[in-house]
Structures are given as C-alpha cells and as structure tokens.
Amino acid sequence: MAYKIISTSPTFGYYAFEPVEYLKDHGCELDLVPQGKKMSEEELIESAKGYQAMIVGMEKITEAVIQASKNLKVIAKHGAGVDNIDVKTASDREIAVISAPGANSDAVADLTIGLLLSLARNIPFADRSVKEGGWPRIVGIQVNGKVLGIIGLGQIGKGVAKRASGFDMKVLAYDIFKDEGFAQKWGITYLPLEELLAKSDFLSVHIPLTPSTRGLIGEKELRLMKKDSFLVNISRGDIVDEEALYQALKEGRIKGAALDVFSSEPPKESPLLKLSNMISTPHMGGYTLEALKETGMICVRGIVDVLEGRQPQFAVNPEILK
C-alpha cells in the first residue's frame, strides 16, 4: 500500500524536484496544495484527513488539525523552527515531528549580510530613485570597523559572524549557550544582552521563538541602542515588539531596521511598511535553490524513515519513537 503524503508548504515541490522523486521512489503518493493558497484551520483540518504524513511551512498546525488527522504518523517542517506546530499534541498522539535544522543556515546568513549592507548604503532607496528618474547623492556608512551584535550564536549566527569577519567588523554575541571555542577562534566577545545592545552599531537577531524570547526586543531594549544603529530581524517576527520598533524608527531613536519576518505575514496593515527607514522582505531568508533542495531532502528522508519504522535524523520529539 502506498503512503499518502500532503504538502501544504508553499515551497516544497515547486523549486527543487529531487525530494519529490525520492518520495515516489519509496512508494509514496504526494499531493501538493496549490502554491500561494493561504489555508484556514478548517481547510487544514479537512486536507489533513487520510494522510500518513504532512509537509508544512509556516501555517499553524494546531491541536484541532492534529486531532482530525486519524492516520497521521509524521509532520515534517519544511524549515527549521517548529513554533507553528503543536508539538505537545503531536507527541500525545505519538506523531513524530521532524524539522531541517541548519539546512538553510547559509542562505539565511547570506541574506542577513545583504540586509545589513542595504541598510548601511541605503540601496533600496537608491534603486527606486534612479528608476523614478532621479540621481540623488546618497551618503551611507562603511561597515568595516563597525560593531555587529548577534543575538543567538547558533548555526545561523555563526554563519553571520564568519561573514562579518570578512568585512573587518567587530562581533559581539549574546546567547544563553556559549560556544567559547568558536568565539575564541573568530574573535567574538560574549556580553549580557543590555551591554550588547548599547555597544552595537548593527544588531542581528537569530534565535527561535519561545515563550522566553517572545517580545525580547521591546521598548526598553530599543532605548538602549545607539541612535545611529540598525536592527536586522531574520528570525521570527514576534521576537521584536513591532509597535515599539515603529515608534523607535519614527522618532529617530534608531537609524533603521530591516525585517524579513513579521508577527503577521503578510504584514498588510503594518505601519512599519510606511517608514522610509525600514526595509522589508517577504520571509525569504531560507529561499535559495540550494537550501530548498537540502531542506526538502531532510524532510523526505525523515518521513520515509518514520513510515518504514526507523528513527529519523532530526526528530523534535524523539522520545515517542523509542
């Protein structure tokens, strides 16, 4: 009997085809939700029925969705963070949850540096100005010699740190888990959060969304930052208090910000989009052809492992598989 799999991810199967072929080669039938369709909870509940596996993106896989999926054995996140999946309910139902940590870390680190440079040199404004017939004199700042503060020195944060070293930036880091060996090798100094905020010219956020990190960067933290500093958030939107950030940018308490993530996506009603000192991108940090292929392959290998009775490599809840 063929395994039935549904993907509600907007990227799986549309850019990298090797993962789809892998599933077919292992006796799986795959249904893809049309790309660009934003599914409601009711649609997810109905779509999930009858499948042994789900591949998901950022859509919320709630308790109701999981409970309705009577045959579900595994949920695979086509990405790293699983904050949109009710892992507890999945575990209670003995449904494996897997993800692809690190598969897109280079892609996210690349975009981080791209946004950092875009802020420093005001590249988006320069592009728009020339296309609109202007030829303005735009004076930016150099990044070499500046201080980059990284919140979260995991795989992505380390990738950003290594790239920043090529620009001769001084790197500071805040993380509750310290990798002293890496820090020593790359000349990175760990600091408490408040001290890091006060000393950084650029601040880059690379931590997962958890109850303790939600709203981590709020009004108090933004007031600690330098007036000419920049903030880049490419992690999760809810880590930064968007209302506080809006006020800080509007009042000129920090110089600029670049967001690849928002608390609500797409952020159609966000006042941040009206600010000239804010760069926005559509949660594209992990979207390179290379990263999508690797992420997809990790997902499908994990799915097949679970369905065939093997321990997957990247299980979020491995205890239910013992």
- The two beta strands, 147-151 and 170-174, are parallel
The pTM assigned to this predicted structure is 0.92
Q: Look at the chain and count its residues.
A: 322
For residues 285 and 260, is the Cβ–Cβ distance under 8 A?
yes
Q: Identify the segments of the chain with pLDDT beneath 70.
A: 1
Q: Which of 78, 206, 283, 301 is catalytic?
A: 283
What confidence tens digit (pLDDT) does each residue in 39-77 have? 899 999 988 888 999 999 999 999 999 999 889 999 999
**Residue 45: half-sphere exposure toward Cβ, Cα within 13 Å:** 9
User: Does 78 participate in catalysis according to the annotation?
Assistant: no
User: Does 236 participate in catalysis according to the annotation?
Assistant: yes
pLDDT at residue 2 in the model? 86
pLDDT at residue 70 in the model? 87
Q: Map out the domains of the chain with their CATH numbers.
A: 3-103+288-321 (3.40.50.720), 105-280 (3.40.50.720)
Q: Which of 18, 21, 42, 265 is catalytic?
A: 265
What percent of the residues of the chain are helix, what percent strand, and what percent coil, each to the nearest 5?
40, 15, 45
Helix (H, G, I), strand (E, B) or coil at 251: coil
User: Does 283 participate in catalysis according to the annotation?
Assistant: yes
- The two tokens of residue 273 are 């989009």
Helix (H, G, I), strand (E, B) or coil at 237: helix
Q: Which of 221, 236, 242, 301 is catalytic?
A: 236
